[in-house]
Amino acid sequence: MIEKTIALPFSINAYGGISVATDQSKIWADRVRSVIGTTIRERVMNPEIGTLISFSIFNTEESAESQIESEIGKAFSSQLRLLTLNDVVITHDEYTNLMTAEIVYSLPNNEVVSTVVGLALVNGANPPYEESL
């Protein structure tokens, strides 16, 4: 049986129906982004879903990287148990001040895929308007 799920981002197909996804790598990538992009206690009916990555935005770059890696590892071990986390590669663009995480993982059928998640980063412990140049 082929697994089908609502395609993300949500859209309507040419026939007026809801678009669905059947590709396993797309389905799992959407699930990974959903868990990583949700803050714990953000979902009222399911408060344990998500990570604490959003709380790392005021940390220094090194501290934020280690916290993000740790949170992604926790998410895979507790909420994405059918996947095997292989690697997390975090990069920081100094110009845009955007931190991205490339998450490499194995699907239940042992296919290795990667998903890139963009994370906003504000360096320092002060709000942006108090930062000194």
In angstroms, rounded to a whole number, what is the distance separating the alpha carbons of residues 38 and 4?
A: 22
Q: Residue 101 sits in a domain of what CATH number?
A: 3.10.450.40
From residue 113, give the alpha-carbon distance in Å to each of 23, 40, 84: 12, 25, 10
Do the domain assignments include residue 76? Answer: yes
Do the domain assignments include residue 131? Answer: no
The predicted structure's pLDDT at residue 103: 95
Q: Which domain holds residue 118?
A: 5-124
Is pLDDT larger for residue 1 or for residue 84? 84
Do the domain assignments include residue 25? Answer: yes
Do the domain assignments include residue 82? Answer: yes
pTM for the full model?
0.80
- 127 pLDDT band, cuts 50/70/90, is very low
Do the domain assignments include residue 133? Answer: no
Do the domain assignments include residue 66? Answer: yes
Average pLDDT for the chain? 85
Count of domains observed in the chain: 1
Do the domain assignments include residue 27? Answer: yes
- 132 pLDDT band, cuts 50/70/90, is very low
